[in-house]
Amino acid sequence: MPSGRTHDRITLWNLPTVTVLTLFFTKSSDLTLIVSGGYLFGGLMLSPDLDLNSLPFKRWGWLRWIWIPYQKLVRHRSIFSHGVLIGTTLRILYLGCWVIVLGGLGIVAIALLGYSIESWQDWASQVARSQFQYRQHYIALFFGLELGAISHVLSDWATSTAKKLLKNSQKSQDNRKLLPKKKKKTRR
């Protein structure tokens, strides 16, 4: 498997291609910015390697503790961490659960301090409405996050395949050394 730094380089090298292709197909600077930002975040922060003590895990800084239960529950390179669509969806849902829990605790703390919760209820309804109003933007964000994960998974797959091919090639060369040498035919 490539190292964390190699994954980062691949993500950064592919960013211009992702940006240009997104702008070409969408003709929208808003969607291009969202897809490109999602791609960067998906490749650098929401990586399939969050199930390890990896560079993306360490990038979460003092918030990295939220990924420890994920690491215990999800096996590395399983369909739940490296699966196309499944891995990204699971990481988004997992992160969303933490946002809801921590946000809920924040709302309760604010209510205990005597502030009105009604404004929070209005905010929650606005968030729910925005999911319909800005549906294209949410889809673009998910697409960018998934592209970041796909870039990671493809580089893992390519490296593993190359190593297997090289190993098999070396084994066949070693096996040829064990076979008796063919006698050279002499001309008479």
Residues 43, 64: Cα–Cα separation, whole Å: 16
**Model confidence over 152-169: pLDDT tens digits?**
889 888 877 877 777 777
**Model confidence over 52-88: pLDDT tens digits?**
999 999 999 999 999 999 999 998 888 888 889 999 9
Contact 50, 56 (CB under 8 A): yes
Please list, in sequence order, all residues whose beta carbon lies within 8 angstroms of the beta carbon of residue 43, skipping any fewer than 6 positions away: 7, 8, 10, 11, 148, 149, 151, 152
pLDDT of 125 over the 90 cut: no
> Which stretches does DSSP call E strand in the chain?
none
Predicted local confidence at residue 82, as pLDDT: 86
Comparison of pLDDT for 155 and 144, the residue scoring more? 144
Residues 146, 41: Cα–Cα separation, whole Å: 10
Please list, in sequence order, all residues whose beta carbon lies within 8 angstroms of the beta carbon of residue 10, skipping any fewer than 6 positions away: 2, 43, 151, 152, 155
The average pLDDT across 9-17 equals: 95
